[in-house]
Structures are given as structure tokens and as C-alpha cells.
Amino acid sequence: MNGPRPPAPDPYFPANGDARYRVHRYELSLDYRPGPNRLAGTARLGAIAGRAPLTEFQLNLADFRIGRVRVEGRQPRWTHRGGKLRLWPTKPLRAGAAFTVEIHWSGNPKPVSSPWGGLGWEELTDGALVASQPVGAPSWYPCNDRPADKASYQLAVTTPSAYGVVAGGRLLTRTTRASTTTWLYEQAAPTSSYLVGLAIGKFQTVLLGDPGLGGVPQSAHLPSHLLPEFSRDFARQPRMMELFGELFGPYPFGEYTVVVADEELDVPVEAQGMSLFGTNHVDGARGSERLIAHELAHQWFGNSVGIADWRHIWLNEGLAKYAEWIWSERSGGRTADELASVAHRMLAGLPLDLRLADPGRRHMFDDRVYERGGLAVHALRHALGDDAFFRMLRGWTAQHRGGSVTTATFEAHAARYADGPLDEVFADWVHGAALPPLPVG
């Protein structure tokens, strides 16, 4: 009689993650020295075996020196090659059994290579930041690097006291001893490995909005010389938060943090409960306000409601793109119809060979995923009408909060809010490659 069928790896990144078990808790303790770019860490993982016994399992971790390793308190046999830490417990782990893993590692962290350049830990001129999407998390800690494997995190980071540490989640304590300070953060919400954010630098901290009035606590950490420009550029973020809460459902986390690194970044990057921007996104003229809206919207679409694997990335980027258009429409800028028309004209001049439902690894960050994704959401809004459309979005974020979804999940969910079939909308915009006519009416 055949045993349980092994789970399939991520089709875009088959070398990342291990679907035979899941992690429910990471406790990371890091000591980082910015000058020599030296990182030493301890990870304690609480995990649960899947449907079959585990005689061995894997974690992803870049090229660090490995020290102590324990599984259930015992030293396993292990190998570490090509970014994979493979462990053989002293005895098989029963199907469905909870187990613990402890790993000590050290070295000089650096980005991992990818088709999009280096990802993950990035050493800055004076500090460091983490931008891991999609597979950069192993550049700084051992993890089961699959977007659907969500866990809670506790993160303790010790640095020289001249530096501040910002991470997603709630700051529990900040303890100074001699010349170092340890910052302890807790992210209780289920979090994908690539969404664990971290920034180390010399920041000025400011508060945005007034959480005393019942709003979401919002803070920003930035170089002090950018404060005048930042104050104008991010002035409307509290109103964005209020609007998105009304339209998409309650903000899914306890707080929201913005970090501006003292260097230029190609693009802003979302993390769980935080977003990272570069100095080039702060100009004092609200030149990047659409990106502020985009990164904030990811807290609902992509972070709280995550994806089962990377084929479904349009659900993250298409809904965040559409949030840009909604913010523009509701804040006195161009309407969503006008912005959809601009996107449609742009796509008409590009190759029509991309299918949103499975764009392929090479194209998962292509502009067409974002723009066509926004248009697919716009077409759905036209098909449903505003009342049903926004009820659908609020139901989506409520029903799948903390979970992982697929395109098929979204199609089935949207259908429950429609008066008629939506098959044609999804066939044309999500599963087809040809460019349908712009929705009107």
C-alpha cells in the first residue's frame, strides 16, 4: 500500500522550502556589528511534521559557518551545501508531531543571488537592511523559505548603541549594557519568511497620526536630514490608512512602521507591518505617494492574505496596484477609470504573451503583472459594481486573514458576490494572454 504522497515544491523555486513540515514559531537572537559586517545568530524553531514521518528535512541558509545544531535537543547528522541545511534527526519524527530545532550560525551576511540581483541582507554605508522578496530570507537566518509557511516571530537584535533597530511587530524591550543595546520585537501574526523586515541604522523616529483617537499606531524611522521633505511626502499616510481600513477591512496588524534608509533603493519593499523606502522616494513634492499607497496596501494583500506559491503573485501586486488607483480617485487625483486607460494603452504597446495566473518565474516582477493585475481588478469592479466589489474585498481579507490563497480561491470568493457568472472576466484578464477591451460603463 502506498504512503502519503509527498507535497510538491514551489514550481518557481523548487530548491526553496520543504513542504513536508511547517514552522509555527521562530525565535531569532542576532548580534550584528556594522563595521566588520559580522553577524552571529541563534535560531530556535518550533515546527510540526506533515502527513508522513520525517527521517530528514531541510532548511534554507546561505553560506555561514554552522555551530551548534539540535533537533529535539539532540545532535542530528547534517550537511550544509548550496544554501541548503539538511538534517537527519537521531530518530524519525512522527507524522503530525511537534518538534524543535536549534541552530547557531555566524559569518558576514550578504545578499543571495537571484535573477533580479542580490536579495536579502544588504550592508549599507552605515548600517544594514533586509529586503527579501522573494527568496532572500536565507541570506540572514535559517528558514523554511516558502511563502505559505507562515509563523510567528520573536526577534532580538544586539548592536552597538549608536544604532537603532527597526523590525516588523511590537517592540517589547530595549536593553542597554555597556556599549551595546538589544532590541526585542514580537510579530505574533502569521508571517512568511520573506516578509520578516529589519533595518539597522541611525534614525530619527517620528509618529504619524494619532493612535490615541483609535487609529493604527504608525511610526517612521528616517535620517534626520530628510525630516522636512518626509513630513510633506508622508503627511497623507494616516488618511490612507483610514480609507483602506474602510474599503478593505480593519488593518490586519498591531502597528505600521515606515523606514527610510539613508541610501537610494531601486524600489520600495514591503515587509510584515513595515515598509522600506530609499532617499530617492523622499522629494518633498509627494512624488512617490502612489508607492506609499502601494506598500501600505500590501499589508492586506500579500502580507496578511498571502499566496500559496509564487505563481499567484498577481494577487499581491494587482490588488496593491489597484489600491494606488483607489487612493488617487479618493484623494482628488485621477480616477481609477483614467488610470486604467493609461495602463491599457501601455499594455497595448507591449508583448501580449503573459498570463497573470502563471506568469512564469522570469516575468513574476514584470510591469505587466502589476498593470494587467490592476486592470483585472478594475474589470472585476465593473462586473460587480462598487457595493458588491468592496464587500467582496472586505470579505476576502477577513476570511483569509493570516492565510495563504491561490487564484482559484479568489475566483470562487468573487463569484459569491456576483449576480451573474464571472468566468469571462477571469478567462480574459487572468488566464488569457490577449488584451481585452478596456472595461467601460
Q: Following DSSP, what letter does each residue of 221-277 receive, concatenated?
A: EE-GGGHHHHHHHTTTHHHHHHHHHHHH-S-SSS-EEEEE-SS--SS-EEETTEEEE
CA separation (Å) from 116 to 111, 135, 349, 371? 11, 11, 24, 19
- 317 annotated as belonging to a binding site for a ligand: yes
- Determine the Cα–Cα distance for residues 183 and 178; give it in Å rounded to an integer: 14
Residue 7 in any domain: the answer is no
- Determine the Cα–Cα distance for residues 204 and 227; give it in Å rounded to an integer: 8
- 312 annotated as belonging to a binding site for a ligand: no
Q: Do 214 and 178 belong together in one domain?
A: no
**Is 0.85 topped by the overall pTM?**
yes
Residue 441 in any domain: the answer is no
Residue 379 in any domain: the answer is yes
Cα dihedral 357→359→361→366 (10° resolution): -130
Q: Do 30 and 109 belong together in one domain?
A: yes
Residue 5 in any domain: the answer is no
| Among 344, 324, 345, CA closest to 335 | 324
pLDDT of 4 higher than 70: no
- Determine the Cα–Cα distance for residues 250 and 269; give it in Å rounded to an integer: 22
Percentage of the residues of the chain whose pLDDT score is greater than 70: 97
Distance between first and last Cα of the chain: 58
Catalytic residue among 370, 371, 411, 417: 370
Q: What is the pLDDT of residue 215?
A: 86
Q: What is the pLDDT of residue 8?
A: 76
Is 370 catalytic? The answer is yes
Q: Which of 283, 299, 315 is the last residue of a domain?
A: 299
Q: What is the pLDDT of residue 262?
A: 94
Q: Do 83 and 192 belong together in one domain?
A: yes
Q: Which of 281, 299, 317 is the last residue of a domain?
A: 299
Q: Which of 277, 299, 321 is the last residue of a domain?
A: 299
> 331: Cβ–Cβ under 8 A, 6 or more apart, which residues?
236, 239
What average pLDDT does this structure show over 413-425? Answer: 97
For helices 289-297 and 237-248, what crossing angle results, to 10°? 40
Catalytic residue among 270, 289, 295, 411: 295
Domain at 386, CATH number: 1.10.390.10
Find the range with the poorest average confidence among 114-123, 198-207, 209-218: 209-218
pLDDT of 248 higher than 70: yes
Q: What total number of domains does the chain contain?
A: 3
Q: Do 154 and 178 belong together in one domain?
A: yes
Write out pLDDT tens, residues 5-14.
556 789 999 9
Is 27 catalytic? The answer is no
Residue 209 in any domain: the answer is yes
Q: What is the pLDDT of residue 421?
A: 96
- Determine the Cα–Cα distance for residues 119 and 137; give it in Å rounded to an integer: 8
Q: Do 168 and 245 belong together in one domain?
A: no
Q: Do 26 and 167 belong together in one domain?
A: yes
Quick one: pLDDT band at residue 394, thresholds 50, 70, 90? very high
Determine which helix (DSSP H) or strand (DSSP E) holds 42, and give its type and residue range: strand 38-49
Mark 78-90 as b/e (b = at least 16 C-beta within 10 Å). bebeebebebebe
Note down the domain range covering 74. 21-196
Q: Do 275 and 241 belong together in one domain?
A: yes
Q: Do 208 and 295 belong together in one domain?
A: yes
Q: Do 169 and 74 belong together in one domain?
A: yes
Quick one: pLDDT band at residue 209, thresholds 50, 70, 90? confident
DSSP notation for 367-423: HHHHHHHHHHHHHHHHHH-HHHHHHHHHHHHHHTTT-EE-HHHHHHHHHTT-SS--H
Residue 249 in any domain: the answer is yes
Q: Do 350 and 414 belong together in one domain?
A: yes
Residue 439 in any domain: the answer is no
Domain at 221, CATH number: 3.30.2010.30
Write out pLDDT tens, residues 258-275.
999 999 999 999 999 999
- Determine the Cα–Cα distance for residues 407 and 388; give it in Å rounded to an integer: 19
Residue 1 in any domain: the answer is no
Q: Do 132 and 209 belong together in one domain?
A: no
Q: Please, what is the average pLDDT of the chain?
A: 96
Write out pLDDT tens, residues 85-98.
999 999 999 999 99
Q: Do 372 and 325 belong together in one domain?
A: yes
Domain at 51, CATH number: 2.60.40.1730
Query: Which amino acid would we find at residue 373?
Result: G
pLDDT of 441 higher than 80: no
